[in-house]
């Protein structure tokens, strides 16, 4: 039973490491993607379609795009989503392994 506690602790540590790593990765990726998209829109607006709007309109469009920056709660949800699934799979594997091992003992 002691080894199960060790595996459980390892699982908790790995879950925390996964959450922090996935959160940071998703946050940075979403932020970079939004920033790149906003600047592409701004460049297109100012360079290619000057006659369709003023620079102020282009800045307003860019700022509107920036308002879609990632939200911490949504990003945390995406980062945490796989954790309970992996715990469920690990629990199923553990109990199936015990069941198979008990079959060999009888």
Q: Distance (Å, rounded) from C-alpha 103 to C-alpha 106? A: 6
pLDDT at 60: 78
The dihedral of CA 85, 89, 90, 95: what is its sign? positive
Distance of CA 1 to the CA centre of its chain: 34
Query: Is 1 strand, coil or helix?
Result: coil
Number of H helices, E strands in the chain: 4, 0
Range of the domain at 32: 2-105
- Per-residue confidence in pLDDT tens, the chain, 106 aa: 567 888 899 999 999 999 999 999 998 998 888 888 878 877 777 776 656 567 777 777 777 776 777 788 888 999 999 999 999 999 999 999 999 999 998 7
pLDDT given at position 2? 60
Total domains, the chain: 1
The predicted model scores a pTM of 0.73
Lookup result for tokens 């594997």:
93
């Amino acid at each position: 039973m002691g080894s199960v506690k060790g595996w459980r602790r390892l699982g908790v540590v790995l879950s925390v490491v996964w959450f922090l790593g996935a959160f940071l990765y998703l946050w940075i990726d979403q932020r970079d993607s939004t920033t790149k998209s906003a600047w592409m829109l701004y460049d297109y607006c100012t360079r290619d379609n000057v006659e369709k709007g003023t620079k102020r309109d282009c800045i307003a469009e860019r700022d509107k795009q920036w308002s879609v920056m990632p939200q911490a709660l949504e990003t945390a949800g995406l980062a945490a989503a796989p954790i309970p699934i992996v715990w469920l799979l690990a629990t199923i594997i553990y109990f199936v392994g015990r069941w198979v091992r008990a079959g060999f003992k009888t």
